[in-house]
């Protein structure tokens, strides 16, 4: 993204904040998940960690550059711990991360509560459990967002394209929220590894974290300045992020979003 070769991406907001503070010229234009879905996902017959006291020394499966590390580092920092206090089991890809937990090579993986746990259970028959980080010590931050390159967005044609893309995305998210069974049926047509039951579980879970208390009633994707400040403060205070931005508006803009019902312009 930094060199403008891939000017639009869907990435984790906490990770993006760290990159912007480090000098990367990007910003969020729509935050679709506004509460952290991050959780410890584990086998139910070997449930760990289910409380803060069990985190230290736990074997946690991750992948190289795992997007979960930003929020996990902050979670540990709030408890006076560091990454070195857990045993990381490095895996080659997300599938290997899941297998490490299923095979009991790792106690848990870091993942989304509405994704890996339900899907792994339904696909393998192994009963799974999960504990959200926010339920353990309140750690949460803005999550998945549409992010763009700052130079790319200066072009008027790109701005028009982005507005139309976001409006269509907002309309799709709203339709999914209003028609969840139909959305699950559509989803599995393009993701045959999933079942309708798994898709519906993931949709239902996702809909619970699409907005923060500050953005209830706002357009989908609209983010609040105070939520950005809290997310940056979390990383600065507990994840060792240096030189936080005095003005968090450098992280985001809502100007390219449309209001409901997100219909095409005539």
pTM of the model: 0.92
Q: If you average pLDDT over residues 6-11, what whole number do you get?
A: 95
3-state class of 149 per DSSP? strand
Dist. CA 156–CA 256, nearest whole Å: 12
Supply the CATH number for residue 46's domain. Answer: 3.40.190.10
Handedness of CA 96, 98, 103, 104 (dihedral sign): positive
Contact present, 29 and 162 (Cβ < 8 Å): yes
Task: Count up the domains in the chain and report the number.
Answer: 2
pLDDT 10s digits, 177-230: 999 999 999 999 999 888 999 999 999 999 999 999 999 999 999 999 999 999
The domain boundary, picked from 137, 156, 173, lies at 137
Rounded alpha-carbon distances, angstroms, from residue 210 to 4, 10, 109, 218, 221: 28, 15, 23, 11, 8
Q: Are residue 151 and residue 23 in the same domain, yes or no?
A: yes
**Residue 88, in any domain of the structure:** yes
46 occurs within a structural domain:
yes
Residue 266 has a pLDDT of 74
| Domain end residue (candidates: 115, 137, 159) | 137
In a 3-state reduction of DSSP, which class is residue 257? coil
Q: What is the pLDDT of residues 101-117, one digit of tens each?
A: 999 999 999 999 999 99
Please check whether residue 260 lies inside any domain of the structure. no
Residues 113 and 150 both lie in one domain: no
The tens digit of pLDDT for each residue in 10-55 reads 999 999 999 999 999 999 999 999 999 999 999 999 999 999 999 9
Q: Mean pLDDT, to the nearest integer, of 237-261?
A: 97
pLDDT of the residue at 65: 84
- What residue has token string 């312009």? 265
pLDDT for the residue numbered 110: 96
Res. 5: pLDDT tops 90: no
**Mean pLDDT within 128-155:** 97
Whether 266 maps to a domain, the answer reads no
Domain range for 81 is: 38-137
Let me know: does 119 contact 193? Beta carbons within 8 Å: no
Cβ-based neighbour number of residue 84 at 10 Å: 8
pLDDT (tens digit per residue) in 64-104? 888 899 999 999 999 999 999 999 999 999 999 999 999 99
Q: What is the pLDDT of residue 2?
A: 79
Among the listed residues 111, 129, 110, 113, the one whose alpha carbon sits nearest the alpha carbon of residue 121: 129
């Amino acid at each position: 993204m930094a060199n403008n070769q891939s000017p639009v991406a869907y990435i984790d907001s906490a990770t993006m904040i760290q990159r912007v503070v480090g000098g990367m010229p990007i910003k969020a234009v729509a935050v679709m998940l506004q509460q952290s879905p991050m959780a410890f996902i584990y086998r139910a017959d070997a449930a760990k960690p289910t409380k803060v006291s069990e985190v230290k020394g736990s074997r946690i499966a991750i992948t190289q550059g795992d997007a979960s590390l930003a929020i996990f580092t902050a979670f540990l920092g709030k408890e006076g711990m560091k990454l070195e206090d857990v045993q990381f089991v490095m895996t080659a890809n997300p599938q290997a991360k899941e297998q490490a937990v299923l095979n009991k090579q790792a106690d848990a993986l870091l993942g989304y509560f509405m994704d890996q746990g339900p899907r792994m259970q339904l696909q393998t028959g192994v009963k799974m459990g999960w504990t959200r980080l926010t339920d353990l010590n309140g750690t949460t931050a803005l999550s998945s967002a549409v992010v763009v390159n700052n130079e790319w967005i200066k072009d008027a044609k790109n701005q028009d394209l982005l507005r139309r893309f976001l409006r269509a995305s907002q309309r799709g998210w709203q339709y999914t929220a209003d028609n969840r069974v139909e959305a699950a049926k559509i989803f599995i047509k393009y993701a045959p590894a999933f079942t309708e039951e798994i898709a519906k579980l993931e949709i239902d879970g996702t809909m619970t974290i699409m907005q923060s208390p500050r953005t209830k009633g706002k357009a989908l994707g609209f983010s609040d300045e105070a939520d950005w400040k809290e997310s940056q403060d979390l990383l600065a205070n507990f994840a060792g992020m240096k030189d936080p931005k005095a003005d968090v508006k450098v992280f985001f803009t809502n100007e390219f979003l449309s209001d409901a019902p997100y219909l095409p312009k005539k």
